[in-house]
Amino acid sequence: MKPIYIFIDGKEIECFEDQPLLWVALDHGIYIPNLCALRERAEPYGACRLCYVESEGEDRPVTACTTKVRKGMVINTKGPKALRLARTAFELILSNHPVNCAHCLKSGSCELQRIARHLGIKLNSKKYKKFIKDLPVDETSPIFIYDPNKCVLCGKCVWLCQEKLHTGTLGFAYRGFYRRVTAFGDEPVGLSDCRDKIELVEICPVGAFGAKDRQRIKRIGG
Ligand code: FES
């Protein structure tokens, strides 16, 4: 296949037609915030709305995970319209997220911390009224703690169970504000067929799944 060239933030990049823009940027050291993207997903999930960029010739910002590269594309990851949308999406996520990094098992490797730094937003932003779900924390697994209050609904753990581990254990339940990831029949995740799956910790970009033994974590996924 013949390579094509595109420009991201003024940098000329060699890539191949139809590659997802998000991965092209990340593979060339250009960070675009993202929570729900996974390279192995057949189709982008497009749920978190954090990966907005501006593409020359387009009226509105586009999401980098759903945009395929085309020859000569000119992309600006720092355009004001794109940043405004990404910041709004991020602050809405924070409005449902208990921020207590000092006591969080993912502190230091949490994607929310990285995105906050990138977008110049404080994790304790008060822009939107805080609504925390106040759900019980599940400590029944021998290897992880599942705190549904910290879940950002990126769907990565659900994908992992359905498409990779083939346990079929996790799925989304309820709607709107109450939407959350649960095990089949709402049993504790730590008692389900996924009870010993450290991969749940590795794929979770935030502190919803945290390892009881932090030494065991390696990062997988996006
Ligand atoms: S990474 Fe593009 S919408 Fe989540």
* Max Cα-Cα span within the chain: 53
The tens digit of pLDDT for each residue in 143-185 reads 999 999 999 999 999 999 999 999 999 999 999 989 999 998 8
Per-residue pLDDT averaged across 64-89, rounded? 98
Per-residue pLDDT averaged across 29-57, rounded? 96
Mode of pairing for the β-strands spanning 74-76 and 62-63: unpaired
CA of 204 to the centre of ligand 1 (A): 15
Ligand 1 nearest-atom number relative to CA 36: 4
Q: Which residues of 4-39 are buried (b: 16+ CB within 10 A; e: fewer)?
A: bebebeeeebebeeeebbbbbbbeeebebbbbbbbe
The tens digit of pLDDT for each residue in 123-139 reads 987 788 888 889 999 99
Segments in 35-148 forming alpha helices (H):
80-94, 111-119
Question: What's the CA dihedral at 3, 13, 54, 1 to 10 degrees?
Answer: 10
Tell me, yes or no, whether 150 and 82 share the same domain. Answer: no
Tell me, yes or no, whether 156 and 104 share the same domain. Answer: yes
Round to whole Å and give the CA distance between 170 and 15.
36
Tell me, yes or no, whether 63 and 112 share the same domain. Answer: no
Residue 153 sits in a domain whose CATH number is 3.30.70.20
CA of 191 to the centre of ligand 1 (A): 31
Residue 222 lies in a domain: no
